[in-house]
């Protein structure tokens, strides 16, 4: 079957007038005239959102086993997300073994050939290991007792157990820069976060192969006039990406907009969502921590403990703070794809698409050409959820 969506198309960081065609679950060069569907003024068709830092969603955590992961994957397309990295905060050696068992065989990583026309659920990418090689002074909700130095053996054990997509660590820890090199040599994204590093150490980490900064401004020094931090180093260097939780809680919208403009096309929005996201206010768990959500803010003993909001909220927050819609959406769509080497909108790529209205609210989501979200506000008919277009 064939569908062509005509209107504003997000291509790179630009919105252009055009047409995006889907045939047999893949992006196509064109479509018959009868397959064309015009989008309302202001609506956008874009590559679907990709979340590189997601601890949980829809009431469950990513390490809750195959059923929990399936529940998360089924819920995410409603907010336009069709791929995500299950994210693990720091834990004991036994805790990592349990998590590796729970996640074993769940991820399609690395993505050699994504399934087409088989499921409306979001794709599970490689794990994001947020820790345990973090700075105790910037632990946040991570258990300090679980933090450790990145020895070669310790790094290798985690890489073998999880085959992760991303590892976040503090490069100033003893062995930190060698760990960055070790991780990068394996083709894994080494990311700097939960760190006290200054700009000099930040630059050294980039030189060693770090390609990402984890949630800018959170769990790290900010930017001061005469004490440059790792954040300043990553924003100043044109090579690495910078991730940001733009939920309006972790970083004030005005400040998030400043980071977005400084990072430009290197900005990667992440949700840092926990089990409370996509679920009612109440009590949830993050690892072994009991956290409380009011539906927007999640706390553990007065500290922020992830987010109760999804990745789509980040794009809307940036847009509301004055960042161009194209730039805000790019940070949640194209930028994470480039970082992990995922397909975009080239002909033959899987049709993982989202249609958003003028307020950047997802109205239609496709996963490999299968309808995963079909909002009642759509101005044209599409097959029911679970069916190919």
Q: How many helices (H) and strands (E) would you count in the chain?
A: 10, 23
The DSSP line for 42-102 is: T-EEEEPEEEEEESEETTEETTS-HHHHHHHHHHGGGGTEEEEEEEEE---HHHHHHHHHH
Taking the C-alpha atoms of residue 47 and residue 50, their distance in angstroms, rounded to an integer, is 9
Neighbour tally for 283: CB within 10 Å: 10
Q: Which residues are catalytic?
A: 272
- DSSP secondary structure letters along 155-210: HHHHHHHH--SEEEE-TTSTTHHHHHHHHHHTT-EEEE-S---BHHHHHHHHHHT-
Identify the CA nearest to 218 among candidates 287, 341, 153, 134. 134
Tokens for 242, please give them: 């910078």
The 8-class DSSP code of residue 112 comes to S
């Amino acid at each position: 079957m064939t569908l062509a969506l005509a209107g504003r198309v997000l291509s790179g960081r630009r919105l252009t007038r055009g047409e995006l065609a889907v045939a047999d679950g893949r992006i196509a060069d064109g479509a018959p005239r009868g397959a064309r569907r015009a989008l309302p003024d202001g609506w956008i068709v874009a590559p679907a959102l990709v979340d590189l830092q997601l601890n949980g969603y829809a009431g469950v955590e990513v390490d809750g086993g195959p059923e929990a992961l399936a529940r998360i994957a089924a819920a995410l397309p409603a907010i336009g997300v069709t791929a995500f990295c299950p994210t693990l905060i720091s834990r004991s050696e036994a805790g990592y073994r349990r998590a590796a068992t729970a996640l074993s065989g769940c991820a399609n990583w690395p993505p050699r050939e994504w399934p087409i026309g088989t499921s409306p659920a979001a794709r599970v990418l490689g794990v994001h290991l947020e820790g345990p090689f973090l700075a105790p002074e910037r632990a946040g909700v991570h258990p300090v007792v679980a933090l450790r130095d990145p020895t070669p053996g310790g790094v290798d054990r985690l890489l073998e157990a999880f085959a992760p997509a991303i590892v976040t660590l503090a490069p100033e820890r003893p062995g930190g820069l060698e760990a960055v090199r070790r991780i990068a040599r394996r083709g894994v994204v080494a990311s700097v976060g939960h760190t006290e590093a200054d700009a000099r150490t930040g630059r050294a980490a980039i030189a060693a192969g770090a390609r990402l900064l984890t949630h800018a401004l959170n769990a790290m020094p900010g930017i001061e006039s005469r004490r440059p931090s790792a954040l300043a180093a990553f924003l100043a260097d044109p090579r690495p990406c910078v991730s940001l939780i733009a939920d309006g809680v972790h970083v004030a919208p005005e400040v998030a907009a400043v980071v977005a403009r400084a990072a430009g096309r290197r900005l990667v929005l992440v949700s840092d969502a926990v089990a409370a996201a996509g679920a009612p206010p109440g009590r949830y768990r993050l690892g072994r921590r009991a956290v409380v959500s009011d539906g927007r803010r999640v706390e553990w003993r007065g500290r922020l403990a992830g987010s109760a909001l999804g990745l789509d909220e980040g794009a809307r927050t940036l847009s509301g703070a004055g960042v161009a819609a194209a730039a805000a959406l790019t940070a949640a769509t194209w930028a994470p794809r480039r970082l992990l080497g995922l397909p975009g909108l080239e002909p033959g790529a899987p049709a993982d698409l989202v249609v958003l209205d003028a307020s950047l609210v997802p109205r239609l989501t496709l996963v490999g050409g299968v309808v995963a979200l079909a909002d009642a506000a759509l101005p044209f008919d599409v097959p029911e959820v679970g069916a190919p277009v």
